[in-house]
Every structure is written in structure tokens, then in C-alpha cells.
């Protein structure tokens, strides 16, 4: 960890995510659930949920909405000195041309600690391998963590292995600690409200539509605290 990131507060952060195709029912359902389309950069009306007031629903999806409907492959990072967004685009194009789709995710709503997420029920080994390939291949583009970066990541308790991964890759939940997921809520306290959210999400995302990973989406955060935007999709070439 260094203080090399000081003075970067106004700089864009980049993230490598999976986001369903723009014409896929999972993309539309996820956007509607969160109340925002990160590709079109517009807010959407959220679906009414039984037993949950609209203002409570909006509040308890606030942070997830800012990031957009996605699954993290490589967590947000600032560009390292000497690298440009154009170079990142070129590297993503070349990398994705070598990849074959990961098919048949069959996602279901599950608890991830104290928040709800869509998790795959199939092909998790292939997904994990893809995610770590992204982490490794694009780590040269990642600027060293600043003191603020490190403090933010350490707000939640990390075990020794997660701390080591944080120091190596700038993110504690990679390699064997990685869990592919598409976040649906912010943190929920266990109780009737959380149970209502769980039941509502299970019913809402009961989609009879295939979901495949056939591209990587580049998301950007133009300034700290801004909404993440889907900047470009890079389709797989095999």
C-alpha cells in the first residue's frame, strides 16, 4: 500500500463487470428491481413489492442502485500511471476475443451475509476461473491503493487470507474467496422486512430465460460517489 493515489479524488474509477445483454430479460428485470438502467443512465420505476413500502424499498436498494445491476469480475480501480482508457479498451477487446461463453448460469436468489443477491447454481468453476483471469490480466492497469482505499476496504472485518488478497490484488474477495453474485439489496436486518424482501425477490426473478456470460462490461464511476455507468461491452470471440 502506498499514498500514490493522493490527489486522484476527481479521477474516474473503472470496473470489469458481468452485465446481461441489453435485450436479455435478466437485464431488464435487474434494472427494474434496482430502479436504474446503468446503460441508458436513467432512473426507472421499481416494481411494487408485497409488504414493503415503496420508500423503504427505494432506500434499501440505494447503494446497489448506484453500482448498477452487475456481477463483479474485477473490482473498481483507478488507472495506474502511464495507462489510458483507450489502452484498457484495446486490452479488453484482445482478451475477450480469446474467451468462450459460460452458459446456463440458472441464477437464484440467495443470502450473501446480510444482503440478497442472485447467485449461479451451475458452472461455478468456469465462472471463478474467468473472474480470476480478469483479476490477473488487468492488474497492471490498477493504480496502487491509497491510504483511503485501504481504509475503505478494511471497514468490514477481513480474515488473514482476505487481508493478503487485498494487499496483492486490491480486493479481498478473489481467488478462493470469490463468490459470483449480482447484488439486489443493501444490508438488511434479519426479521419480517428481510423475509418479505427475500420472498419478493424469489418471485420476481423466477424467469424462464437463459443467462450466459458472453461479454465483459466496462463500468465507470466518473467521480467519487457518482452513479456507475456501463461504458462498453466487449463480446467473447470463441
Question: What's the pLDDT score for residue 151?
Answer: 83
Question: What's the pLDDT score for residue 80?
Answer: 96
Q: Please, which residues have CB within 8 angstroms of residue 141's CB and are 6 or more apart in sequence?
A: 14, 77, 79, 80, 83, 87, 88, 91
Question: What's the pLDDT score for residue 51?
Answer: 87
Overall pTM surpassing 0.85 (yes/no): yes
Summarize the confidence of residues 121-150 as an average pLDDT.
92
198-229, pLDDT tens digit by residue? Answer: 999 999 999 999 999 999 999 999 999 999 99
Summarize the confidence of residues 133-148 as an average pLDDT.
93
Would you say residue 184 has pLDDT above 70?
Answer: yes
Out of 9-23, 81-95, 170-184, least confident range: 9-23
For 53-122, the DSSP string reads -HHHHHHTTHHHHHH-S-EEEEEEEEBPTT--HHHHHHHHHHHHHT---B-----EEEEETTEEEEE-SS
63-87, pLDDT tens digit by residue? Answer: 999 999 999 999 999 999 999 999 9
92-122, pLDDT tens digit by residue? Answer: 999 999 999 999 899 999 999 999 999 998 8
What value does the mean pLDDT of the chain take? 93
Q: Please, which residues have CB within 8 angstroms of residue 99's CB and are 6 or more apart in sequence?
A: 130, 236, 237, 238
Amino acid at each position: 500500500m502506498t499514498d500514490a493515489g493522493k490527489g486522484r479524488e476527481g479521477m474516474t474509477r473503472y470496473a470489469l463487470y458481468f452485465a446481461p445483454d441489453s435485450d436479455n430479460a435478466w437485464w431488464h428485470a435487474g434494472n427494474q428491481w434496482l430502479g436504474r438502467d446503468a446503460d441508458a443512465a436513467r432512473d426507472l420505476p421499481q416494481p411494487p413489492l408485497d409488504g414493503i413500502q415503496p420508500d423503504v424499498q427505494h432506500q434499501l436498494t440505494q447503494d446497489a442502485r448506484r453500482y448498477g445491476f452487475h456481477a463483479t469480475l474485477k473490482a473498481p480501480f483507478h488507472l495506474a500511471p502511464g495507462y489510458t482508457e483507450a489502452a484498457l479498451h484495446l486490452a479488453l477487446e484482445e482478451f475477450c476475443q480469446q474467451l468462450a461463453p459460460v452458459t446456463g448460469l440458472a441464477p437464484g436468489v440467495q443470502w450473501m451475509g446480510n444482503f440478497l443477491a442472485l447467485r449461479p447454481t451451475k458452472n461455478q468453476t468456469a465462472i471463478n476461473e474467468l473472474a480470476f483471469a480478469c483479476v490477473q490480466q488487468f492488474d497492471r492497469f490498477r493504480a496502487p491503493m491509497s491510504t483511503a482505499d485501504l481504509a475503505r476496504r478494511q471497514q468490514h472485518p477481513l480474515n488473514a487470507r482476505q487481508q493478503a488478497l487485498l494487499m496483492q490484488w486490491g480486493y479481498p474477495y478473489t481467488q478462493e474467496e470469490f463468490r459470483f453474485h449480482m447484488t439486489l439489496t443493501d444490508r438488511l436486518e434479519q426479521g419480517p422486512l428481510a423475509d418479505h424482501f427475500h420472498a419478493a425477490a424469489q418471485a420476481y426473478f423466477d424467469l424462464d430465460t437463459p443467462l450466459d456470460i458472453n461479454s465483459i462490461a466496462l463500468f465507470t464511476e466518473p467521480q467519487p460517489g457518482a452513479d456507475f455507468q456501463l461504458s462498453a461491452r466487449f463480446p467473447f470471440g470463441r
